[in-house]
Amino acid sequence: MKDRMVKLIRKTGETDIKVFLNLDGKGFCKAGTGIGFFDHMLTQFALHGKLDLVVRAKGDLKVDDHHTVEDAGITLGKAVLKALKDKKGINRYGFALVPMDDALVLFSMDISGRPYLNFDVKFKREKIGDMSLETVSEFFRAFSTNAKVTLHVAKLYGNNEHHVVEAIFKAFGRALREAVKREDNGIIPSTKGVL
């Protein structure tokens, strides 16, 4: 299906982000952000979301990784919003409870038209590889604001930060896949008639 495919470019004085997204893909991802661990997380997201994703980012990594990760979240959020068009026939809600070894993460999504993020995850270290862990919540805040979705993310438990973050991105993919799934009824899933 080609009707839920989007290409977006976002250029600022800090970043140059290109995103291709196909919500009805097969789980293919090609990520090149200059941040190895972030590329790994985007790959997990696409695979578990069964969507096709290409992300190319050039950011001011000599400063740090914040702008690149946040702007990728902005651009991906805008791409999802654009791909969903009027949102007719979508499931709207998505939920995932994902274990990864010692970690268990809950991720819940409502494609509501109302951006909101509750991110209940505390990290004990500053970085994994070359990705600052404080940027994880910034990525989801940017995504939520620009996709206009409500997100609730909670670490139920887990000690290994790599496992926790990976479970978050896998759960993100699974929740998005469920939320954008077509119900084939052509109805906007809201008594308001709009999302």
pLDDT of residue 16: 98
Question: Strands (DSSP E) along the chain, which ranges?
Answer: 5-11, 15-22, 29-32, 52-59, 93-100, 103-110, 116-120, 127-128, 131-132, 150-157
Express each pLDDT in 43-71 by its tens digit. 999 999 999 999 999 999 999 999 999 99
**Could you state, in order of their start, the residue ranges of all structural domains in the chain?**
5-180
5-180 topology per CATH: Ribosomal Protein S5; domain 2 (3.30.230)
pLDDT of residue 185: 83
The string of pLDDT tens digits covering residues 68-120 is 999 999 999 999 999 999 999 999 999 999 999 999 999 999 999 999 999 99
Distance, CA of 160 to CA of 133 (rounded, Å): 13
Which tens digit of pLDDT belongs to each residue from 124-183? 999 999 999 999 999 999 999 999 999 999 999 999 999 999 999 999 999 999 999 998
User: According to the model, what pLDDT value does residue 1 have?
Assistant: 52
